[in-house]
């Protein structure tokens, strides 16, 4: 570790598990002051301690007031938010022809509107500071689509589109906005999927295997770092085992 994020204040949303937890750990290892945020309080406490986070805060990204309060927690304690990582997400499956509106809406609420709310909440302080980094975990399914995953693919494509639009909007003011679109990564999110599906998926991947969270987190370090991340604006980086080659 090189201290690439020394002294940076980072809010990592979705830090109780998987990729968000690995990003929180990688950021603290690089010298950042991390505030770990998640909806799941028990797992959050454990994950925040394991990651060496400065503090943790409960947040439901679908709840506007909860997101505002989480960002205020960071501002009250640390005076600024240098980096926002959006890693909260949910995934379930279902063919679109039978998909209840509530299932569609729930996925859009967490995976897309949650990212919007968090971005909107941190932007005033980042714009006032004239600097900041926003990194959202999208998915390669937002680029290629997935069977039974129309809701999830739509939400992730939305994150990618929003990332590009927001990047154009705020880069002139010094705030750099980018996305990471991982391929399949071994986390609790994919733990419930059948071994048969996973074996077929692995066979499709040029690398022949899923990633692990620690292999995604360094991309989030790069995007937050100076000078490494300085020229990335509205980009979608793909640690994806070769699943998509844009």
Ligand X SMILES: NC(=O)c1ccc[n+]([C@@H]2O[C@H](COP(=O)([O-])OP(=O)(O)OC[C@H]3O[C@@H](n4cnc5c(N)ncnc54)[C@H](O)[C@@H]3O)[C@@H](O)[C@H]2O)c1
Q: 59 or 157: whose CB is closer to ligand X?
A: 59
Residues 68-97 that bind ligand X (CB under 6 A): 87-91
Q: Among residue numbers 148 through 207, which ones bind ligand X (CB under 6 A)?
A: 182, 184-185, 187-190
Kindly report the backbone phi and psi dihedral angles of residue 88, in degrees, each rounded to the nearest multiple of 5, phi listed first: -65, 140
Tokens 């598990």 appear where?
Answer: 17
Q: Hey, which residues between 33 and 72 contact ligand X (CB under 6 A)?
A: 38-40, 59-62
| Residue with the two structure tokens 């809010």 | 11
Q: Which of residues 102-121 bind ligand X (CB under 6 A)?
A: 110, 114
99 counts as binding ligand X under rule CB under 6 A:
no
Active site residues: 152
Q: Which pairing describes strands 83-86 and 33-38: parallel, antiparallel, or unpaired?
A: unpaired
Question: Which residue lies nearer to ligand X by CB, 105 or 230?
Answer: 105
DSSP string for residues in 76-94: HHHS---EEEE--------
Read off the DSSP letter of residue 231: T
As measured in angstroms, the least distance from the Cβ of 48 to ligand X is: 11
**CB of residue 68 vs ligand X: minimum separation in angstroms?**
13
For residues 179 and 237, the answer to whether their CB atoms sit within 8 Å is yes
Q: Where are the beta strands (DSSP E) in the chain?
A: 9-13, 33-38, 55-58, 83-86, 132-137, 175-180, 236-237
Query: Binding-site residue total for ligand X (CB under 6 A)?
Result: 29
Which residues bind to ligand X, rule: CB under 6 A? 14, 16-20, 38-40, 59-62, 87-91, 110, 114, 137, 139, 182, 184-185, 187-190
């Amino acid at each position: 570790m090189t201290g690439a994020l020394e002294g940076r204040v980072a809010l990592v949303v979705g830090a109780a598990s998987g990729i968000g937890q690995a990003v929180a750990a990688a950021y603290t290892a690089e010298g950042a002051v991390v505030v770990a945020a998640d909806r799941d309080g028990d797992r959050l406490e454990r994950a925040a301690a394991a990651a060496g986070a400065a503090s943790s805060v409960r947040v439901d990204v679908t709840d506007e007031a909860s997101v505002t309060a989480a960002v205020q927690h960071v501002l009250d304690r640390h005076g600024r938010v240098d980096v926002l990582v959006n890693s909260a997400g949910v995934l379930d499956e279902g063919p679109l022809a039978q998909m209840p509106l509530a299932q569609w809406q729930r996925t859009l609420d967490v995976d897309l509107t949650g990212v919007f709310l968090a971005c909107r909440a941190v932007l005033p302080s980042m714009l006032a500071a004239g600097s900041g980094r926003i990194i959202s975990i999208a998915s390669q399914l937002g680029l290629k689509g997935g069977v039974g995953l129309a809701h999830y693919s739509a939400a992730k494509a939305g994150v990618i589109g929003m990332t590009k639009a927001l990047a154009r909007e705020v880069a002139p003011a010094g705030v750099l906005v980018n996305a990471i679109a991982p391929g399949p990564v071994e986390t609790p999110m994919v733990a419930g999927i059948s071994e048969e599906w996973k074996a077929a998926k692995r066979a499709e991947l040029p690398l022949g295997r899923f990633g692990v969270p620690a292999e995604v987190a360094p991309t989030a370090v790069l995007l937050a770092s100076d000078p490494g991340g300085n020229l990335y604006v509205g980009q979608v980086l793909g640690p994806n085992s070769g699943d998509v080659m844009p």
